[in-house]
Amino acid sequence: MKSNRYTIHILSENIDAQKSFSISRLWIWTIVIIIFVSLIGFGGGLWYYIPRIVEFREKNRQFEKMLSERTQVLDMVRDLNRLGQMEEIIRSKLGVVNEDENEFGARDEKAFTISYVENIPSQAPIDGFLTQRMLDYSHVWQQNHYGIDIAVREGEPVLASASGRIIFSGWTYDLGNLIIIYHGDGYFTHYGHHQINLMQTHGIVKRGDVIALAGSTGISSGPHLHFEIWKNGRVIDPLEFFPEYKKKDLSVNTNG
């Protein structure tokens, strides 16, 4: 009669250590079936989940792409809104200057005249360390930055880079206390994040006059001056006018 059990002997040089045990054929088949079912289940799981994992990764990639594109759009909208705000400020203030000559033109004719020496930015607005350069085009990871950031101690005096008329002195959301100066010949300079503005709108300034105290108002991570130069509606890199800031450049982007 055929036996339903299998005996397994474990041999050893030490006779006393030799062992043997038996296992029924039913248990062997049970183990084989369990292993077989486990392999089928594992293979079936791979067949079911791998396409879904690939699909999830593709959808996640598309979502990240859509999110980056939306971020770019939001940055563009923000820049357009800011430029629109600045254009509205400049138009309204220049309109007052140009249309009401009796109020400003005749009274301040001697105080503010167009000079290609005095009215071109030539005075460094503050002494500090360059922490961010100008970026006039957006990346996915970085938005436009129309000017340079100069880190200084809070309360340091901010100087007018050229003679001109202040067309805006007030608060903005991103730049905090902001001053915009019109210098003539299409030149404008912007000074932002002040602790306090010392000059009022329509005021006349000479090159080197103190117009504000540096601070960290608006969207800012620490005391610094945000400085921009515009000419005929186009932004110009302030480092072209003040290359001395390159000697104290701590910015991540040190090209040029």
**Predicted local distance difference test score (pLDDT) of residue 73:** 56
Q: How confident is the model at residue 176 (pLDDT cuts 50, 70, 90)?
A: very high
CA distances from 128 to 40, 49, 162, 175, 214 (A): 70, 58, 19, 18, 11
**Predicted local distance difference test score (pLDDT) of residue 139:** 47
Q: Tokens for 5, please give them.
A: 């059990």
Query: CA–CA separation, 107 vs 117, rounded Å?
Result: 23
Q: What is the mean pLDDT of the chain?
A: 79
Point out the least confidently predicted range of 37-51, 70-84, 94-108. Answer: 94-108
Mean pLDDT score, 219-241: 93
Q: Is 15 exposed, middle or buried (0-12, 13-18, 19+ CB in 10 A)?
A: exposed
Greater confidence (134 vs 191) lies with 191
Fold classified for 114-248: Glucose Permease (Domain IIA) (2.70.70)
pLDDT at 183 over 80: yes
Residue-by-residue DSSP string for 139-162: -SS---B-SEEEE--TTPEEE-SS
pLDDT at 158 over 90: yes
Q: How confident is the model at residue 88 (pLDDT cuts 50, 70, 90)?
A: low
**Predicted local distance difference test score (pLDDT) of residue 41:** 84
Q: What share of the chain is helix, strand, coil (3-state, %, to 5)?
A: 35, 30, 35
Q: How confident is the model at residue 67 (pLDDT cuts 50, 70, 90)?
A: low
